[in-house]
Amino acid sequence: MGEVSGDARLRNGLVVASGVGSALLLAWNAAADVAAGDSGEIGGAACALGVAHPTGFPLDMLLLRAFALLPLGPLAWRENLAVACLGACGVAALTVLSCRLSERAGVVSGRARALGAAVAGCCLLGFRTFLDAALGVEVYASALALVALMAACAAAERARPIAVWFGLALGAHVTAALASLPLVAAGALRGWAPASRRARRCAAWLSSAGAGALVLAYLPLAARRDTAFDWGDPETVPRLFRHLSAARIREAYQQDMFGAAAAPGLALFRQLAERAWLLPLALWGFVSLARGRRSAALLLAGVLSLDLAYAVWINPMGIAQHQLGHITGAGLALSAGIGVAQLIQSARKPRRPTSTIAMPVSRTRIDAGPMKRWP
């Protein structure tokens, strides 16, 4: 019992250290002013409580606006600090997920799991696509944090928190809700099995839908304010649906979307292979996870497949700006952490003795009376 509690304390300490340490590191390196790309438009829309470009990202608008109220320096740096904190939340969630999945993969040593989780967090912090999304105002750090939190809840076999995070994910970037669909399906099926808990599970998913509706209600309410940032004017239901479905973007870039060209996939692969040494570790970690818990490996493969499909097939325009692939990069870092934990445990296994002493076996029959049946 003491060993289990010791492993839990080690895991909790690692999560706190990774969250606080990555928050300080990202905040120290965050842009001091308005960053490149869509940072000016998204940050300005959040400051004015307006409507950003499709799909609106109401959750990010509210979070950025909350950090903008802090008296901590220039307005742009405060909003960059909000994104840095979201990135740190994703790193912390990834470390606890690595610990849990390493245990599913058969890693017994708590220290090996902790070291593997630390490697996973460091690999994510060294991924350029993640840094581009976490050092300036963007909407991808929140999506990664939500997916990592839902995956951590799924690894801990807790279905109800998945519903809460998924409701919030409806107000983030579309990759948050899309990539988390396998986790949501697994949580719903797991929660539906016991008949005694169906009412509570249904209440959790209904509350998730309510939370999502409340977050999305920001868009028509903000549009009624008629600020300088009012993309699509989503006051009515048809305009709101058009904004949430990114109809304007699909009409403008329809010649680049839903194609079968190989160039976007190759460009994304080059970005993911920035550190070639990470790929063998990630492959070894995924194979170890598949051997230990096949269902967890299938869920991880499903999440990464949806993220890759969105980047290559639906929105290949964002690959060149290092805007997509952040969830897949986190998945590679996670698999590498599991692989490192497996390698550490393999290196620490005691060697088998080369010789054994055969003990003589008596052939004398001993009458021990009637056999006692085990209870």
Highest mean pLDDT among 192-201, 232-241, 274-283, 316-325: 232-241
Taking residues 282-292, what's their average pLDDT?
Answer: 93
Residue 363's pLDDT is 46
Range of the domain at 76: 2-191+198-221+229-252+265-346
Q: Which residues of 42-61 are buried (b: 16+ CB within 10 A; e: fewer)?
A: bbbbbbbbbbbbbbbbbbbb
Interval 6-29: pLDDT, tens: 677 887 888 889 999 999 999 999
pLDDT above 80 (res 369): no
Taking residues 114-142, what's their average pLDDT?
Answer: 92
Residue 349, SS3 per DSSP: coil
Residue 158's pLDDT is 81
Taking residues 197-215, what's their average pLDDT?
Answer: 76
pLDDT above 60 (res 365): no
Rounded to whole angstroms, the Cα distance separating 142 from 358 reads 62
pLDDT above 50 (res 1): no
pLDDT above 60 (res 89): yes
Nearest to 136, CA basis, from 214, 59, 61, 39: 39
Rounded to whole angstroms, the Cα distance separating 165 from 314 reads 24
Residue 209's pLDDT is 80
Q: Which residues of 351-368 are buried (b: 16+ CB within 10 A; e: fewer)?
A: eeeeeeeeeeeeeeeeee
The CB-side HSE value for 68 (13 A sphere, CA atoms) comes to: 18
Radius of gyration of the chain (CA): 24
Nearest to 139, CA basis, from 95, 90, 182: 90
DSSP-derived secondary structure letter, 74: -
Residue 114 lies in a domain: yes
Residue 259 lies in a domain: no
Taking residues 260-281, what's their average pLDDT?
Answer: 80
Count CB atoms within 10 A of the CB of residue 6: 11
Domains: count for the chain = 1
Per-chain mean pLDDT for the chain: 85
Residue 361 tokens read as: 């076996």
When pLDDT is cut at 50, 70 and 90, the band that residue 195 belongs to is low
Residue 334's pLDDT is 95
Interval 74-84: pLDDT, tens: 899 999 999 99
- Please tell me which residue, 333 or 256, carries the higher pLDDT value: 333
Residue 59 lies in a domain: yes
Residue 297's pLDDT is 93
Beta carbons within 8 Å of 15's beta carbon, 6+ residues apart: 92, 95, 96
Residue 373 lies in a domain: no
Residue 367 lies in a domain: no
Residue 5's pLDDT is 63
pLDDT above 90 (res 187): no
Residue 363 tokens read as: 């052939």
Residue 350's pLDDT is 56
Residue 199's pLDDT is 67
Taking residues 200-210, what's their average pLDDT?
Answer: 74
pLDDT above 80 (res 194): no
Residue 230, SS3 per DSSP: strand
Residue 324's pLDDT is 85
When pLDDT is cut at 50, 70 and 90, the band that residue 212 belongs to is confident
